[in-house]
Amino acid sequence: MKNLSITLADTIMARHPDPLTIPYKKWCYVHGYVLAGFEKLHESTGNPKYFDYIREYVDAHVTPEGDLPAFTGESLDDMMAGTAIVAAHQKTGELRYRRAAERIRHAFNDYPRNSDGGYWHSRSLPHEMWIDGVFMGQMFFTRYGTAIGDRESCFDEAVRQIGIVADRLKKSNSGLYFHGYDEARKAAWADRVTGLSSDVWSEGLGWYALVLAETLALIDPSHPGRVRVLGILRDLVEGLARVQDPKTGLWYQVVDKYDRPDNWHDTSGSAMFVYAIQRAIELGCVSEHRFRPVTEKGYVGILTKATIDAEGLVDIHDACDGVGIQNSYEDYVSCKRVLNAKEAVGSVLWAAVIMEKPRAQ
């Protein structure tokens, strides 16, 4: 499908003329994620309508005084939508956007942590660390530190949280990571000895892959934590290449159990992996010669999951919607696949934008 990025973004705008109606709440991580894709598309095409769509969302939330009534700071998911506010400030310089972003930054001051400093996924989930959360929280930190201020401490925190996830969630020497860790070992999904969840979930690992690549795109080359983040990313890319389905180019819902007959290809995680690996290539973090075939094959697989409906709009197939940590492998592969799962739509948009960039000759 030619120009999937533009067709998909225009589809989102056609289905949701008011960006507040993007599922599933008026203020949530999904908006931050999807609108980050719009920001990338705006940068790629120069078309102002994509930034205007971001700003429409932001202006619906930020008061003239810079207040942010919908923001609670209850969870890391709640922080992610703030990246759209940072984008609006970066583009316009408006003081009210800065004040609203500062409100989110200050919410981290009393946000609960485990004994190792790792953030809880939510204030209401004591001691639970989800791999999703490092994306939700640290995407905001790195954007805030880059565009608004407090750069050193923001990147110090981002590196710290990325490292804690690597220390707690890594699955042996595979380069891959489990979905969650419970320091208290009380969650239904947590192993009573290790505190780990049962499996490597595609989309969860995708969130981690994205934040690694995006952090390396913004971090100062001299930052003392950059070397570790780079090593984690390279290790993950190697691991992902090993478990990519050679036939379809896609990755499975439970990434490393590709030999199970009930496992299936997850569009959302696959698109995240394609973006992250291609971003790593762009940044010079991994070999283009070695890994460009991985992203090209993966993107071909993603294109098979995008169809055009009778109205000329894009449908994205084969992904679950809003999956929390599951108790077992069987629970992950039994998650209902839905059409246009909100995370999958955002993931495919990110992947399409980066894969459609012209290659240097």
Q: Is the pLDDT of residue 359 over 80?
A: no
Go through the domains of the chain in sequence order and give each one's CATH number. Answer: 4-355 (1.50.10.10)
Between 186 and 1, name the one with better pLDDT. Answer: 186
3-state secondary structure 94-132: CHHHHHHHHHHHHHCCCCCECCCCCECCECCCCCEEEHH
Res 361: pLDDT? 47
Q: Is the pLDDT of residue 1 over 90?
A: no
Over residues 150-172, the mean pLDDT reads 97
Res 215: pLDDT? 98
| CB-CB neighbours of 312 under 10 Å | 10
Over residues 151-171, the mean pLDDT reads 98
Q: pLDDT digit string (tens) for 188-221? A: 999 999 999 999 999 999 999 999 999 999 999 9
Over residues 326-343, the mean pLDDT reads 98
Amino acid at residue number 270: S
Q: Is the pLDDT of residue 2 over 90?
A: no
Q: Say how far apart CA 313 and CA 305 lie, in whole Å.
A: 14
Res 274: pLDDT? 99
| Helices marked H in the chain | 4-15, 29-45, 48-61, 76-80, 82-92, 95-107, 131-147, 151-169, 202-218, 226-243, 267-282, 288-303, 329-333, 342-355
Q: pLDDT digit string (tens) for 30-61? A: 999 999 999 999 999 999 999 999 999 999 99
Residue 81 in contact with residue 31, Cβ under 8 Å? Answer: yes
> What are the distances in angstroms from CA 116 to CA 25, 190, 229?
32, 18, 18
Res 358: pLDDT? 84
Kindly indicate the confidence band of residue 186, based on its pLDDT and cuts at 50, 70 and 90.
very high
Task: Give 265's strand partners.
Answer: 252
Over residues 236-256, the mean pLDDT reads 98
* Among the listed residues 107, 178, 182, 167, the one whose alpha carbon sits nearest the alpha carbon of residue 137: 107
Q: pLDDT digit string (tens) for 72-89? A: 999 999 999 999 999 999
| CB-CB neighbours of 20 under 10 Å | 14
Q: Is the pLDDT of residue 279 over 90?
A: yes
> What are the distances in angstroms from CA 71 to CA 59, 109, 111, 226?
14, 15, 14, 31
Q: What is the CA radius of gyration of the chain?
A: 19
Q: pLDDT digit string (tens) for 86-141? A: 999 999 999 999 999 999 999 999 999 999 999 999 999 999 999 999 999 999 99
Token output for 287:
């070999």
Q: Is the pLDDT of residue 248 over 60?
A: yes
Average pLDDT, the chain: 97
Percent of the chain with pLDDT over 90: 98
* Among the listed residues 156, 174, 319, the one whose alpha carbon sits nearest the alpha carbon of residue 226: 156
pTM, rounded to two decimals? 0.98
